[in-house]
Amino acid sequence: GENVEQHPSTLSVQEGDSAVIKCTYSDSASNYFPWYKQELGKRPQLIIDIRSNVGEKKDQRIAVTLNKTAKHFSLHITETQPEDSAVYFCAARNYNAGNMLTFGGGTRLMVKP
């Protein structure tokens, strides 16, 4: 089955700096890669996603890049703000082989004012 690894597990940045979280996946047939943000005590919420036929997607201060050859994808947050502090999860899904969504272990991002 699919295996998703996420790094780093914790990340501390200064307000205004950029943050990058990286994930690798094992199943080359995976074709959908969402990112979720989970604030303390809250439920995960989708913030951005990318399909395997796209190399990059951007939404205001967040962007996701996908390298299918290397089987890794990354979340980029620019001009970080204290409200970006949360746990971020990447995930991978192969729609051609069932509909299971496999998550990475999570990254705790702390943005210092």
Partner 1 sequence: EAQVTQNPRYLITVTGKKLTVTCSQNMNHEYMSWYRQDPGLGLRQIYYSMNVEVTDKGDVPEGYKVSRKEKRNFPLILESPSPNQTSLYFCASSLKGLAGETQYFGPGTRLLVL
Residues near partner 1 (CB under 8 A): 1, 4, 6, 9, 31-32, 34, 43-46, 49, 51, 89, 91, 93, 95, 98-106
Closest distance to partner 1 from the beta carbon of 75 (Å):
14
Non-local CB neighbours of 72 within 8 Å, separated by 6+ positions: 22, 23, 24, 25, 66
Smaller CB distance to partner 1: residue 65 or 78?
Answer: 65
Smaller CB distance to partner 1: residue 20 or 103?
Answer: 103
Closest distance to partner 1 from the beta carbon of 66 (Å):
13
Nearest to 50 by CA among 74, 29, 26: 74
Q: Which residue has the tokens 């990112």?
A: 35
Cα(63)–Cα(9) distance, integer angstroms: 19
